[in-house]
Amino acid sequence: MHKKIFFSLILLILLAGCTLPGNKVSEDAAMATKVAEIIASNVPPSTATVMVPATLEPTLPLVIEKTLPPTETQAPAETAALTEEPTLEPTAAPTQAATAAGSGVPTAAITPLVTATTGPTATLSSNDLRTVLGTPTDTDPMDNANKWFWPGGVDNFTAASWSNGMMSLTGLTDVAGWRLPQAQNSTNMYTEMTVKSGECSGLDSYGLIVRVPVFNPPNQGYLFEVSCDGQYRFWKWDGKAGEKGTATTLVAWKASDSIVKGSNAVNRLGVWANGSNFKLYVNGVLLEEVTNSSFSSGFFGIFVNPGPTAKYTIQVDEVSYWLNPKP
């Protein structure tokens, strides 16, 4: 290998002597570049790095499907569809460096969650779904990214990091951005996460995305979200439909007393997806049942959806799932 490099260098020096005087500076630079390339080509490759599949997601669509009619118990004022949300994709990628500590993404002073009646370690009522279902099939305490191989760092939509036993997820645009772990794909599963809302207001929101048919790219699925002002909604995203993808409202924004609202509030969100039936839970209380058969199975993840707060950040303390639950 060393002889090969040596002869290559000699050959380049001889060739360089044949150049015209007026081109000496540029030719010398070219020769130096070529020498560097030859040397580099003979250096053994470094150990391959295993990359976690990307979880960049499409933005909300320019054209939204017609909102489903409200149910009889839904007030007319609560029939707002996804057109309330900004629907244009970002005009520029974030300027933050993916691995730089001073990336400009707020790390948010992360403090341990205060014990609350809604937390998984608190004493739960006998009719709380978590009590009824018993021990989860699997739980990620979110101490770091390692157990379920969550993707970290910064992408075009979100920034994810871990500190003090929690995952901090920041929305970098005005559309929903999500991260998926390498966890269970199923047709019948209850998924639940415990979240601290962070500093927020209005429709700053977060939630679970479930039934993502394809892990990479994750451009389809159902989203259940809760807002800072105590509302929830359920919608379907199909990034393959239409020019920019299509979002369909299945449950429009609706207030619930079961949601702990305001900044730094702790809530447990759960989705039980079984066949074409979906049950939506907050803090162990059933909010609503929805039927839709667009996606029959898939993966799950978590998302953040900034409203009035730029770079809105949530802190995720635990994610659990029950496979084929039997209450």
CATH number for 178? 2.60.120.560
Residue 175 located in a structural domain: yes
pLDDT of residue 124: 87
What tens digit of pLDDT does each residue of 148-199 get? 999 999 999 999 999 999 999 999 999 999 999 998 889 999 999 999 999 9
Q: Is residue 48 part of a domain?
A: no
324: alpha, beta or left? (left if phi > 0; alpha if psi -120 to 50)? left
11 and 94 share a domain?
Answer: no
Are 17 and 139 part of one and the same domain?
A: no
Q: How confident is the model at residue 126 (pLDDT cuts 50, 70, 90)?
A: confident
In terms of Cα–Cα distance, which of 148, 184, 140, 192 is closest to 166? 140
Distance, CA of 306 to CA of 35 (rounded, Å): 51
Residues 90, 181, single domain; the answer is yes
Long-range CB contact pairs, 70-77, < 8 A, 24+: 70/252, 74/252, 74/254
**276-308 confidence digits (pLDDT tens):** 999 999 999 999 999 999 999 999 999 999 999
Euclidean distance between the first and the last CA atom of the chain, given in angstroms as a whole number: 68
DSSP 199: S
Q: Provide the domain limits for residue 16.
A: 2-41
The pTM of the full predicted model, rounded to 2 decimals, is 0.67
pLDDT over threshold 80, residue 4: no
> Are 36 and 89 members of one domain?
no
107 shares its domain with 22: no
Q: Please enumerate in sequence order all residues whose Cβ is within 8 A of that of 101, keeping only pairs 6 or more positions apart, or say none.
A: none
Is residue 106 situated within a structural domain?
yes
Q: How many domains does the chain have?
A: 2
Residue 293 in any domain: the answer is yes
> Is the pLDDT at 108 greater than 50, yes or no?
no
Q: What 3-state class would DSSP assign to 189?
A: strand
Claim to verify: residue 215 and residue 288 sit in the same structural domain: yes
Distance CA(140)–CA(135), nearest Å, equals 13
Q: Is residue 50 part of a domain?
A: no
Instruction: Report yes or no on 67 lying in a domain.
Output: no
Q: Please give the DSSP secondary-structure letter assigned to residue 143.
A: S
CA dist 65 and 235 (Å) reads 11
Judge if 129 and 186 occupy the same domain.
yes
Token pair belonging to 93: 């990628």
How far apart CA 146 and CA 3 sit, in angstroms, is 45
> What confidence score (pLDDT) does residue 113 get?
43
Same domain as 90, residue 154: yes
For residue 250, being part of any structural domain is answered with yes
In a domain, 240, yes or no: yes
The answer on pLDDT for 60 being more than 50 is: no
Return the beta strands (E) in the chain as ranges: 138-140, 153-154, 158-163, 166-171, 177-179, 188-196, 205-212, 220-227, 231-238, 246-255, 266-274, 277-282, 285-291, 299-305, 313-323
